[in-house]
Amino acid sequence: MQEISSAIQLIPLENYVFLSVALFSIGMMGVLFRRNTIAILMCLELMFNSVNLLLTAFSAYHSDPAGQVFVFFIMIVAAAEVAVGLSIVVMMKRNVDSVDINLLNRLKW
């Protein structure tokens, strides 16, 4: 544990922040502009993981394990979300033979 922490600390904190901002922005852009539902789900995962990376980095720099505990929580939530999300995609494929997100606007009231 101690070695991992010190390994993380070899790279300056700013670099982690820049990387995760970049990942987060890529993810967000993907969510906003892609139409393929699977791609959107993947972008969502990307956003999750950018946040995880940031949490881990800060946790290591502050020697506070709480941040890493959060990461585990987020992973569990993400896993559940993927399970639900992918099953929605499967149902979409079966019903309308497409995974285009814009087809979902038919669900409105």
Partner 1 sequence: MVALYPYITISWLVPAFPLLGFLVTGLAKNRLKNNQAGIIASAMVSISFLISVFVFFALRASGQELVTVTLFNWISAGSLKIPFAFLIDNLSVTMMLIVTGVGALIHIYSIGYMHGDERVNSFFAQMNLFTFSMLLLVMGANYLILFIGWEGVGFCSYLLIGFWFKNPVFNYAARKAFVMNRIGDLGFILGIILLFFTFKSVSFTEVFSQAVSLHSGAPMITLITLLLLVGAVGKSAQIPLYTWLPDAMAGPTPVSALIHAATMVTAGIYMIARSGILYNLAPLTMNIMVILGLATAILAAVIGLRQNDIKKVLAYSTVSQLGYMFLALGLGAYSTAVFHLTTHAFFKALLFLGAGSIIHAMGGEQDIRKMGGLRKKMPVTYLTFLAATLAISGIPPFSGFFSKDLILSKAFENNPLLFILALGGALITCFYMFRLLYLVFFGSQRLSTAHPHESPRVMTIPLIILSILSVFGGFLNIPSLFGGKSGFSEFLSSTVRSKVTTELSFSTESGLITGSLILLIVVILLAYRTYVKKAAVPVADGVPTSFLSKTITNKFYIDEFYHAVIEKPFGFLSDFFFNKVENKILDPIVDEVGILTSKLGNLARKLQQGNMSFYFFAMVAGILLFIIFILIV
15 versus 25: smaller Cβ distance to partner 1: 25
33 binds partner 1 (CB under 8 A): yes
84 binds partner 1 (CB under 8 A): no
Rounded Cα distance between 25 and 49, Å, is 12
Q: Give me the count of residues in the chain.
A: 109
From 27-35, 55-63, 77-85, 86-94, span contacting partner 1 (CB under 8 A)? 27-35
Q: How many chain residues bind partner 1 (CB under 8 A)?
A: 12
Least distance from C-beta 18 to partner 1, angstroms? 18
Token output for 70: 């959060």
Of 24, 28, 85, whose CA–CA distance to 52 is shortest? 24
Rounded Cα distance between 93 and 101, Å, is 11
Binding stretches for partner 1 (CB under 8 A): 28, 31-33, 35, 101-102, 104-108
